Structure 1
Amino acid sequence: MTDKIRAKLNEQPHRWIFQFGSILLLFVLMLWSTTTLQYKGSSDQMTIVKSIITGIFTPDLEFLFNLTTQGVPYLLLETICIAFLGTVVGAVLAIPISFLSATNLVPYPIAIVGRIFIMAVRTVPVFVYGLMFIRVTGPGAFAGLMTMSVCSIGMVSKMYIESIEDLDIKILESFDACGCTMFQKIRYGILPQLLPDFTSTIIYRFDMNLRDATVLGLVGAGGIGAPLIFAMNAYRWHEVGAILAGLIVLILIVEYISGKIRTKLARG
């Protein structure tokens, strides 16, 4: 019996040959691709790299703890406000759009039109929205808020639709059997099912908007991004280090709080 098993094993294809050949081919291609790299280093470039690293790891503490409108705390607060208000406005506007795009609630043609609209909103990059609103409202925090709101509609609506289409219809049928009104069905049958998913989606989108609001400052849409790019262009690396330190602390705090809220929602 053992000899038969060994004979069958010997008849199996030797896959290690193919795997070894694939790894070898990949290694050769990687080596070949490095032939196009050209390094034009100089002592000046190494000095710039050294100054960047030194500036980032030795931030300007006076700028970091400056409590005026020009300091890091105020700029971070402005960034949080842009991200928060943009998330709230986008989440509220996404509710009717998502209900009109759910195939289990509205006729299929209407749902398709809503989904096409959502897809069109999600297609445009955040930078394009930022430049458009800056042309309309001028540079500032309001342009960032409008950009965050429109960008939030696309993703939040898509997540809302998935939650709405996963509704347990049997619960609503039981409320109909009990003679409940439409308000009671919404209050006790629909909202308890949708609220945890909606809240989790909003928190996740706020995390994304917080990072996007930082980048939007590069085009003048408010927040801490503009001072960051100005400091980099002026080679003030100590200020760059202070801004990055503030951003790291802010992201860690928001991530901790949002994680606690998501855990609470998951456990009920």
Structure 2
Amino acid sequence: MNHIEKQLQAAPQSRLYVTVIATIIAALFAWSLTAVNFSDIQQGGLAIAKNILYGLTHPNTDLLFNLSKQSVLYLLVETIAIAFLGTIVGAILAVPLAFLAASNIVPGPVAWVTRLLLIIIRTIPALVYGLLFIRVTGLGAFAGVLTVGLTSIGMLAKLYVDAIEELDTRVLESMTSVGCTTFEKIRFGIVPQLLSSFMSVVIYRFDMNMREASILGLVGAGGIGAPLIFAMRSYKWDEVGSILIGLVVLILIIEFVSNKLRAKLVRG
């Protein structure tokens, strides 16, 4: 018997613990099955599912490739614009809030209040913000930009704070000892340390905002979401297939490019 086997046998037995956990999981699984109700499925459900599958695999190519304002390409460009501008707005507004929430920069009470504000911003769903801004600005892409910008602030500021609190303060102390001004300390001591981290976070958030902008169209905040839901309600599954193909291709491209950019920032 080797040393590893002796250690294994000497380890405390946890069969009771494993049995209790397994029983709880099995009970939860059995309870979850009660939500499955096949009796609600319509008799023509299989035929409808067949039509959906056929439409998704035979997309409307005219809708996919023409250049009208109702085409998938135009709507995808509008969605990108909403996500990009909203990300820029959120990234800029999150910077001062992040410094106010950093406990190594401002007094504790100020940081606590600012963090509470950021938690409140992150708690409210994007669709709620979208509905609120639509009441203010009306339907369209502008409401989507404001919504994406506001929802971005909460997450970006939180990640900014993590980067700020990891600052190497020895650099700032050295610059103070040689008589650098506050501007010089920010420009040459803080910005170089934070820039790559901030840019990486912004790129990641833009990737997320592309999905947010797609969903916001469902409430009329511009982008491709509204045509998607209208096509589904009208049972135009070939149009749904075209829109989904465009979305999938666009998301894959953005995912690839953002991963490359973040990797360069990390190496840099």
TM-score normalised according to structure 2 size: 0.91
Identity of aligned pairs, percent? 53
CA deviations on 1:177-217 (whole Å, 9 max, x unpaired) are: 22222222112110110001100110111111110100000
Q: 1:102, CA displacement in angstroms?
A: 1.1
Question: 1:79 and 1:188 mapped to 2: Cα distance?
Answer: 37
Q: Which residue of 2 aligns with 1:235?
A: 235
Task: Describe the SS at the equivalent of 1:239.
Answer: helix
Question: 2:211 and 2:33 mapped to 1: Cα distance?
Answer: 33
Task: Describe the SS at the equivalent of 2:102.
Answer: coil
CA deviations on 1:135-166 (whole Å, 9 max, x unpaired) are: 00001000000001111111111111111111
- 1:225 and 2:245 matched: no
- 1:59 and 2:59 matched: yes
Q: 1:263, CA displacement in angstroms?
A: 0.5
Distance 1:166 1:228, change over 3 A: same
Distance 1:146 1:18, change over 3 A: closer
Question: 1:87 and 1:33 mapped to 2: Cα distance?
Answer: 39
**5+ residue gaps, structure 2:** none
Question: 1:102 and 1:136 mapped to 2: Cα distance?
Answer: 33
Aligned length: 264
Which deviates more from structure 2 when the two are superposed, residues 29-38 or residues 190-199?
Answer: 29-38
- The correspondence of residues 247-262 of structure 1 with structure 2, limited to 5 A, is 247-262=247-262
Q: Which residue of 2 aligns with 1:149?
A: 149
Task: Describe the SS at the equivalent of 2:44.
Answer: helix
**5+ residue gaps, structure 1:** none
Amino acid at match of 1:154: G
- The correspondence of residues 179-258 of structure 1 with structure 2, limited to 5 A, is 179-258=179-258
Which deviates more from structure 2 when the two are superposed, residues 144-153 or residues 180-189?
Answer: 180-189
Question: 1:122 and 1:36 mapped to 2: Cα distance?
Answer: 31
Distance 1:12 1:262, change over 3 A: closer
Question: 1:116 and 1:21 mapped to 2: Cα distance?
Answer: 39
Q: Which residue of 1 aligns with 2:38?
A: 39
Task: Describe the SS at the equivalent of 1:217.
Answer: helix
CA deviations on 1:61-96 (whole Å, 9 max, x unpaired) are: 110001111100000000000000000001101111
Task: Describe the SS at the equivalent of 2:38.
Answer: coil
CA deviations on 1:80-135 (whole Å, 9 max, x unpaired) are: 00000000001101111111121111111111121121111111111110000000
Question: 1:181 and 1:30 mapped to 2: Cα distance?
Answer: 63
Amino acid at match of 1:121: I
Question: 2:150 and 2:267 mapped to 1: Cα distance?
Answer: 31
Q: Which residue of 2 aligns with 1:113?
A: 113
TM-score normalised according to structure 1 size: 0.91
Question: 2:115 and 2:24 mapped to 1: Cα distance?
Answer: 44
Amino acid at match of 1:200: S
- 1:173 and 2:196 matched: no
Q: Which residue of 2 aligns with 1:265?
A: 265
Question: 1:158 and 1:29 mapped to 2: Cα distance?
Answer: 35
Amino acid at match of 2:38: Y
Q: 1:43, CA displacement in angstroms?
A: 3.8
Question: 2:35 and 2:124 mapped to 1: Cα distance?
Answer: 34
Q: Which residue of 2 aligns with 1:96?
A: 96
Question: 2:32 and 2:118 mapped to 1: Cα distance?
Answer: 40
Amino acid at match of 1:67: L
Question: 1:32 and 1:98 mapped to 2: Cα distance?
Answer: 44
Question: 2:43 and 2:201 mapped to 1: Cα distance?
Answer: 49
Question: 1:217 and 1:36 mapped to 2: Cα distance?
Answer: 30
Amino acid at match of 1:240: V
Q: Which residue of 1 aligns with 2:164?
A: 164
